[in-house]
Amino acid sequence: MTGPEKAAVFLVLVGEEVASMLAGSLDEKELIKLRQGIHGVNVIQQEQIQEVFEAAAGYIGNSAIVPEEMTDYLKRVLTKAVGPDKAITIVERIFQEATDSSGVEALHDVDGETLANLLREEHPQTIAFVLAHLYSAHAGQVLSFLDREKQKDVAYRIATLHNTSPGVIEEVGDLLCRGLRRVQGRELGGVRQLAEILNCVSKSTEEHVLAELEGVNDELAENVRRLMFVFEDLGKIDEKSMQVLTREVEKEKWVMAMRTASPGLKQKVFGSMSERAGALLREEMESMGPVRLRDVESAQHEILEMARKLEGEGKVYLTTGKNKEDVLV
């Protein structure tokens, strides 16, 4: 998207009141560009929403201070736009960029293989602590370059890591410099972060880590799996895979599951069906009365289970930001 198009999407997402205040501060030339941006945007897709807020996160992250009231506001807006999980990820990124010192920032500029070599002889707890500070894609690269045994240990420690202890900070002080002490007490790691990291490694690395993790803690491994590919991620799969999935899942299940789906995912599902089937699905969704959230989530979970089953059979391909070796060509 162009800059004006991103601005147009941002104004739509923040609501009429805030949009009016922001538009009122623009000069005539900027308003003309904004109008051009509005004309360039038709349907706002989920990926565009995330792109816009990540761009906004970059601008805000350059500020010296992120006020608490701004953080609360961003969480509310982002939750409405991209859901609570992605909202938390983006807001945490803003805080990290706004408060991390050059020692932490320096790690973001080191390629995955080099950083893996640097950390190779460190204790798994130390490596887990370092990876917890990186963006998921970067951490996934580093994890991929570690040996198999260490991958298992590091993955388990990321999943069970919660708070930064002074002892751990002391242990990695030489690696992250004095600025690392600023993050003392911040929550790091956890099952969700491990899931995000594994979403960025190759399929073979993912399967190895999860298999080894199952041997250590079966329940923990299952929790990671549940978070690795969520219902909204179905919007990222290719058209052929979506067509297979819509054929395999009964229509009633889609009606319930799509209750909380984003416009982009709904369009993806409708587009994978015949015109008649898509129209019938729309009608049933529109005529459905109030339903319990747990029923919606249950339907989504069943569809995801079917998607994973079909992937295991080689009938669909679930893209989750994997390494290049997993890309279809």
**Count of Cβ atoms closer than 10 Å to residue 146 Cβ:** 22
166 and 264 co-located in one domain: no
75-103: pLDDT as tens digits: 665 666 556 666 666 655 555 544 444 44
110 and 216 co-located in one domain: yes
Distance CA 46, CA 304 (A): 19
Query: How is 250-271 classified by DSSP, letter by letter?
Result: -HHHHHHHGGG--HHHHHHHHH
Q: CA end-to-end span of the chain, whole Å?
A: 25
Q: Classify residue 16 as exposed, middle or buried by CB count within 10 Å of its CB (0-12, 13-18, 19+).
A: exposed
Residue 122 pLDDT: 80
Confirm whether 203 is domain-assigned: yes
Q: Domain tally for the chain? A: 3
62 and 120 co-located in one domain: no
Listed residues 45, 72, 99: the one ending a domain: 99
309-325: pLDDT as tens digits: 898 888 998 765 444 44
Confirm whether 329 is domain-assigned: no
119-157: pLDDT as tens digits: 887 888 888 888 887 888 888 989 999 998 899 999 998
| C-alpha 95: how far from chain center | 17
264 and 304 co-located in one domain: yes
Listed residues 228, 254, 276: the one ending a domain: 228
Listed residues 228, 263, 278: the one ending a domain: 228
Name which of 160, 129, 149 is nearest 209 in CA terms.
149
The model's pTM is 0.40
**Count of Cβ atoms closer than 10 Å to residue 248 Cβ:** 14
Distances (CA, A) of 60 to 92, 95, 98, 108: 12, 9, 8, 18
Residue 155 pLDDT: 92
66 and 110 co-located in one domain: no
- Which residues, other chains included, contact 39 with Cβ-Cβ below 8 Å and sequence gap of 6+? none
231 membership: H or E segment, kind and range: none
298 and 216 co-located in one domain: no
95 and 45 co-located in one domain: yes
258 and 306 co-located in one domain: yes
Instruction: Provide the token pair at 4.
Output: 């004006």
Confirm whether 62 is domain-assigned: yes
Instruction: Provide the token pair at 315.
Output: 């009938």
6-25: pLDDT as tens digits: 877 777 776 666 677 777 77
Confirm whether 328 is domain-assigned: no
175 and 237 co-located in one domain: no
90 and 164 co-located in one domain: no
Question: Residue 156 belongs to a domain with what CATH number?
Answer: 1.10.220.30
110 and 197 co-located in one domain: yes
Query: Whole domain around residue 136: which residue ranges?
Result: 102-228
230-264: pLDDT as tens digits: 788 898 889 999 999 999 999 999 999 999 888 99
Confirm whether 186 is domain-assigned: yes
Contact 158, 197 (CB under 8 A): yes
166 and 111 co-located in one domain: yes
